[in-house]
Amino acid sequence: STAGDYTYTVAGSGPCADSSAVITVIVNPAPDAGEDATVTVCEDEVQVDLLDALGGTPDAGGTWTDLQATGQLSGEFFSPLGLAPGNYGFLYTVPGNGQCADATATVTVTIVSQLDAGSNGTVQVCGSNTTFNLFNGLGGSPDPGGVWIDLDATGATFGSLFNASAVSPGTYQFRYLLEGTIGCSSDSATVTVTTVAAPNAGCNGTAVFCSNGPPASLINYLGCSPSPGGIWTRPGNHPFSGVYNPATNSPGVYTYRVPGNGPCPDAIATVTVSETPAPNAGDPTPPYEVCETDAGFNMTSVLNGNPQTTGTWTDPNGIPHGSTFLPGLDIP
């Protein structure tokens, strides 16, 4: 139906004429505040046009109400700057006209935190470190949830962990990237890692020397190709030359230390030294004279020094002989 004059007529009868009345119908347009909407913005967004955020085709000229009383609404424009992340509601009201009630719609603005990948950093890492956490090289307070990019394609990363032992000493870069979310742009920071060669004291070893043996360099008894130039100590943490002399040194644990450099601690390896007693046949003995009629005697008992009793005798012809000499039978 259209607006206008509508006539109501009652037909007359007999001598009575028809009777009529007129109603003028006026149709007022209903106010349109649009449709409720939600918009997500970053906390560093300068201004949000709330009218543009509404759904539908809202009428202009309505009024806005700041439901959380942020104090940062000016007309249809809202400034998120300085507000904590969260949800903020704004009510749009278009006044009614005539028989039409007011129309309302709400815009919910969700403020999300700006992404923070931290700040660029530089760090030294020892070449023996197999699980260096790259986050420890970033400055600030980086947000979790990003990805690490191996800019030099070392192949030595697993998530945020870097295996410095898998690369040669040098400088490598790794970028931490936080992908942008709705409302906020991406953020990234770079860690520059310098790997330092780890000292090498070799692997622990053992050495067994004869108690009357010659001096020997203990570094030859370490495994894993130790670096030269380290520092030796003998049992009791006393200085030691590195050359073991059975005549003057004692068995025990000898420690080899190669000083660390930068982030690398000292490297330490040990040689456990033991000695085997040297055989003792006694000291040189002057000629021992006997009469051929004398009784037999034990040749071991006339040796000088403290000979072991477990040795064997041979006669002047190199033939095995017992320890007893019988003057009447053993002919020179």
User: How high is the pLDDT of residue 332?
Assistant: 63
125 pairs with which residues across the strands? Answer: 195
Q: Is the pLDDT of residue 215 over 90?
A: yes
User: How high is the pLDDT of residue 48?
Assistant: 96
Reference 112, options 38, 50, 189, 35; nearest CA is: 38
C-alpha distance from residue 107 to each of 50, 73, 101, 112 (Å): 7, 13, 20, 16
User: How high is the pLDDT of residue 99?
Assistant: 82
* Spatial separation of the C-alpha atoms in residues 174 and 193, rounded to whole Å: 8
Q: What is the largest CA-CA distance in the chain?
A: 197
Averaged confidence pLDDT in the chain: 94
**Is 209 strand, coil or helix?**
strand
Sheet containing 73-74: order of strands:
48-49, 77-78, 73-74
User: What single letter denotes the amino acid at residue 115?
Assistant: L
HSE of 163 in the Cβ direction (CA atoms, 13 Å)? 10
207 pairs with which residues across the strands? Answer: 273
The CATH fold of domain 37-112: Immunoglobulin-like (2.60.40)
* Spatial separation of the C-alpha atoms in residues 320 and 302, rounded to whole Å: 19
* Spatial separation of the C-alpha atoms in residues 60 and 75, rounded to whole Å: 11
* Residue 304: other Cβ atoms inside 10 A: 10
* Spatial separation of the C-alpha atoms in residues 286 and 329, rounded to whole Å: 22
Instruction: State the architecture of 205-276 in CATH terms.
Output: Sandwich (2.60)
Q: Is the pLDDT of residue 41 over 90?
A: yes
User: How high is the pLDDT of residue 14?
Assistant: 84
pLDDT tens digits for range 153-202: 999 999 999 999 999 999 999 999 999 877 788 999 999 999 999 999 99
Judge contact between 26 and 3, C-beta under 8 A.
yes
Reference 106, options 40, 56, 34; nearest CA is: 34
* Spatial separation of the C-alpha atoms in residues 75 and 65, rounded to whole Å: 9
Across 96-117, average pLDDT: 93
Sheet containing 161-162: order of strands:
132-133, 161-162, 157-158
Q: Is the pLDDT of residue 1 over 80?
A: no
Token pair of 231 as six digits: 């520092």
Instruction: Kindly report whether the global pTM for this prediction surpasses the value 0.85.
Output: no
